[in-house]
Amino acid sequence: MDKITEIQILCLNRNCVKWFNSPIFFGDMDSLMSSTLIGNKAQCPHCKEMTPCNTANMRVKSTDGGFQGLDTVLSTRD
C-alpha cells in the first residue's frame, strides 16, 4: 500500500491556474481511490478564489514515486 506524501490542487480560476497544497489529505492511495470527492472546494492561496477540490484537478505524490494525476497533462503550469 503506497503512502501519500503530498496532495496538490490545481486552481481552476482562469486568471490563476497554479498548484497549491490540498487541505484534504489521505494516508494512502487505497483510501484516496475509494473516496468520493464531489462538491469540495478549497481557497487558492495565490488568487484567494474558491476552486473545486477533487480528483479531476488533483495530483498526488506517494512513496511509490513522483506525482500521479493531472500533472502529467499540465506539468508546465507550476
Q: Give the strand pairing for 4-10 and 19-21.
A: antiparallel
SS3 content of the chain, % helix, strand, coil (to 5): 20, 35, 45
Using alpha carbons, list the distances in angstroms from residue 66 to 14, 16, 72: 26, 24, 10
What's the first-to-final CA gap in the chain, in angstroms?
28
At 48, the pLDDT band (50, 70, 90 cuts) reads very high
pTM (two decimals)? 0.73
**Confidence category of residue 74, pLDDT binned at 50, 70, 90:** very low
